[in-house]
Every structure is written in C-alpha cells, then in structure tokens.
Chains A and B, each alone.
Chain A
C-alpha cells in the first residue's frame, strides 16, 4: 500500500491519457473555433473567435448546402431502414433462438460468411441490380440495402433470447397463444434493451455512411448528410469558416447521441465483438 503515495507508473498512465485526449480533441477544437470566425479574422487557427455569437458561417451553410433537405432525407432513410431491420432481426432471432430445425447452423453460417465480403466490392453487381429494379435515384435504394439483418445483430439478439426463460413461452402456450403472439407479445418487447442498443449503433452507421448514398442517389434533392458536405466543400475550396461550420453541424447530432446514450453504445460494441 505504501506504493500508493508516488507511483511513477500511475503518473505515466495519466500523462498518456492526457496526451491521447489532446490528440483526439485537437482537430475538433480547431473546427469549433474557426466555425465562428469571419473571413477577415485571419489569426492563428487556434485563437478563439471574436465572438461565439457570429453565426454567419452557419447561415451560409444552411442556405447553400441543402442541409435541411439532407437532414430530412437522412431521417427518412434511418427510420424506414431501422423499422424494417428491427423487425427482420427479431424475427430471425426468434426463429433461430426458439425453434429447433435442421440447417440452423448453416443459416447462421451464411450470415457470418457474408460479413467477410466487403460491401463495396460487390457494388458493381448490386448497382445494376438496383437499376434493373428501377430504384436508382430513389430513397428506396439505401433503405433496401440497410434493411437486411446482419450477423452481429443476430448474435446480440440470440444472446438476449437465451436469457429469456422458456417457461414464459410454455405458459403462454398452455393458455393457447399462437407462436406469432408469443413472438409479438412476449419476445419482441423483452428484446427491448438489445433493440435500443442496435438502433443507436445502426443510426450512427447509416448517418455516417458515405458511399451508398453517393452511388445510388446523385440527384440533387436526394442529398443526405454525408453527401451534402462533399458537394458543399467541392464548391467552396477556400472558405474554411464555412466548411468548419458544416463539419460542426454534421458532427453534433451523433456526438450528442453518443454522450447521452454511451452506455448502450459501449454494450453494443463490446457484445458484438467479444461474445460474437
């Protein structure tokens, strides 16, 4: 216990953590202070702006980058994809977790092997598929691509289902409930905490996805958050103040989501990797 007074390793730990925190916060800090600077405030990039109430950069971005349209399109895609995805994910988990049948391991295997195939590599074919379905340049394209259940989601749900006592199903069956009612009335609600975690993680994923909206929705009105900043920055190479404001607007929603719901995010990331 006497080592507790001065432990050089303890000091070293804090030094490293502070250094790492500095590295993490340095780029966002620079973006934050410069988003509030006017073009003429050409001081050092680290200096604070003359006023944190100078919203002119933000006004420019909202006006010229279609940011409101981008948020509303992203919102529609997130809601529709997640509604379908939660439904399909819980259904797969119920079928696999509660019913014995031949080929169960093969089906799980099929979902697992799919994660090895990098999504972007198959886009050459998926692109012509989407085109032939007439979904190119429509919100349905990303929704359809995000809706499918993935293996991490299935594993997280299966973990959860295992912990729901089977007696609940049995007593419902004694009362003559159909299996569909057991799924909808007992299992689905009890999967709530897992669903919350998955919804948050997937919202962040879809919100941050760049390539699928870029490839499938080049139309101006179908801009989403990720593509809006690309288009905007493409037109305004030099205006750092504007770009910083755009970066900030885009980053804030997920950062807030993260700070308030970190518990769910950490449990999702850890469960998906460690137990899966």
Chain B
C-alpha cells in the first residue's frame, strides 16, 4: 500500500514532472527574451559588469542606418522563392495525392533533401554554383544554353536568388509532405459528394481541397516567412555575406554585431526587432484568415 493518497501523489507528480522542463523553458527561452529587451536599451559590450542606459538610441540606429535595416532588401528573394516553393509544394502534393504508380518512391525522393546535413548541402551547392568548375554552368553549356552561364554566387543581384533557391531545394519536399498529410486527412466522402455533384478535378481542387488546407497553408507560410526573416546559415557558410555585402542578412549582421564587434546592446535591439517582425507576421496572418472566415 502507498503511504500517500492519490491526491497527494498527483501534486507531487505535477511538481516533480513539470518543474525541470518549465525551468529549462524559462532559463533558455523566456529569460533570454526578457533580458534581450532590457539589453536593447543599453550599450553593454558582453563582458563588463556595468552598462549605460541609452534609451531608444539603439533602435534609432537600426532604423536610420541603412547598413543595418537596409539588408532586409536582400531577404526579399527568400520571400519570393519561399512563396513559389509553397505553390509548387501544393502542386506536387496534389499529384502525389492521386492514384499513381510509384508515388511512394517519388515522395521519398522529394523529401530527401530535408534530412541532409545543412552544411553539407551548402558545400554541395557551392560546387553546383561554382563559376568555372560548377556543375550548373557545365549543364547549361552541355544543353546549349551557354548564354545563361552565370557567376551565381559572385553576382550582386543574383546571389540572394541563388542562395534562396538552395532553400527551395531543401524545403519544398518538407512542405509537400505536410500538405500531403493534410490532404489525406480530408474525409473521402467529401470527394465522393463532389464527384456526384459533377465537379471536375480542377473544381474539386479549387473548391474542396484548397479551402480545407487553409490552416496548413497558414502554418507553412508562417514558417516560410519567418524563415526568410531569419535567414542565416546559407550566407554564413557559403558567401560570408559577400560579394561586397550583397548577401548580408539581418540576422548575420546581428550575430556579427554581437560576437565580432562586441556591441551586445545594439545586437539585442536588432534581435528584438526581428522578434517583433515575426510576431507581426503571425498577427497579420491571423487577422487576414479570421476575417476571411467570418
């Protein structure tokens, strides 16, 4: 027999099972977020015990110094390609949701890039995009399109599209699998009903499948947009922000500001700005979807 009543045990379990996970959550997520906001008003250099209160001047610096805020322009290609990526992912999800021989093989293939090591993928694409030895330029030469050969990572107006297309390569299959999962959870009798009503497959897609995907499209778009806001690993590994700063991103700048220039105060303010933008996207999305629903 147990010495403790179940009521007491429940209390004990709640305290002992939840305290460590919640402590970790607070310590590594919420405390840093709050501290970040505090630091963003100071000139802390990362080492010294004391720091000066600067008020809003870090924020003023971000929004007036085009070297900082201006780099968001480099991230527009990521947004554009991310939207295309989601559209194509839906197309392939629709294809793989139909009766098709070998569809599991294709699903496995298209999802494959997602599980590959990000750094290895980055270096793989360095080889693809290399100007002189790269396989993309060789391929273009081979099929008679030498005129399209480019310095994919060396051209200032092209570099962000090249980098963003690596993201497309990596994540299209992932988005597709999520869309596919959502499509398969739409009850089959709804399709039966649509068939009986005589709707053709495009009507079924447009009036039945897509509306049932709204929530998942919203989730994927949020992941894509917040991913585009926080792009960092590809330029970090492949271009170091070059050529001539053309592939710098806001997060890359933030990290440089903190860990190279030891300006933690300014870097904190930049992180807060990024965070606010992420929340803003979520808010706008929710507002748009909710209005549509009413």
Contact = CB atoms under 8 A, between A and B. Distances in A.
Interface of A: 9, 13-14, 16-17, 20-21, 23-28, 30-31, 34, 44-46, 88-89, 91-92, 94-95, 99, 101, 107, 110-111, 114, 116-118, 120-129, 144-145, 147-149, 173, 176, 178-180, 183, 204, 207-208, 210-211, 215, 225-227, 229-230, 233, 240, 243-244, 246-247, 250-251, 254-255, 257-259, 262, 265-266, 269-271, 273-274
B14 interface: yes
Contacts of A20: 92, 106, 109-110
Given A178-B2, A254-B115, A118 B226 contact: yes
Contact of B282 (A116, A129, A270, A271): A116
A-B pairs, 4 with minimum CB distance:
A270-B181, A125-B32, A122-B32, A91-B17
Identify whether the interface residues of A are mostly helix, strand, loop, or mixed. Answer: helix
21 contacts: A17-B96, A21-B106, A26-B139, A27-B124, A27-B125, A44-B142, A45-B135, A46-B139, A91-B18, A94-B13, A94-B17, A114-B25, A117-B33, A118-B226, A124-B39, A126-B28, A179-B13, A226-B118, A230-B237, A247-B124, A251-B117
A99 B13 contact: yes
B98 A13 contact: yes
Given A107-B18, A148-B24, A211-B233, A122 B181 contact: no
B173 A24 contact: yes
A255 B230 contact: no
A129 B128 CA distance: 40
B208 interface: no
A103 B27 CA distance: 20
B138 interface: yes
Contact of B95 (A16, A225, A258, A271): A16
Interface in B232-282: 232-233, 236-237, 251, 254-255, 258-259, 264, 267-268, 271, 274-275, 278-279, 282
B172 to A, nearest CB: 8
Identify whether the interface residues of B are mostly helix, strand, loop, or mixed. Answer: helix
Contacts of B178: 269-270, 273-274
B274 A121 contact: yes
A211 B275 CA distance: 18
B35 interface: yes
Contacts, number: 252
B219 interface: yes
A46 B135 contact: yes
Contacts of B115: 204, 208, 254-255, 257-258, 265
A208 B171 CA distance: 14
B174 to A, nearest CB: 7
Given A148-B21, A178-B2, A16 B92 contact: yes
Contacts of A257: 115
A225 B22 contact: no
Contact of A207 (B24, B31, B33, B117): B117
A159 B124 CA distance: 38
Given A126-B28, A144-B28, 9 more contacts: A31-B124, A45-B134, A95-B14, A127-B258, A127-B259, A144-B24, A180-B9, A233-B123, A273-B219
A35 B262 CA distance: 40
Among A34, A122, A208, A230, max chain B CB count under 10 A is at A122
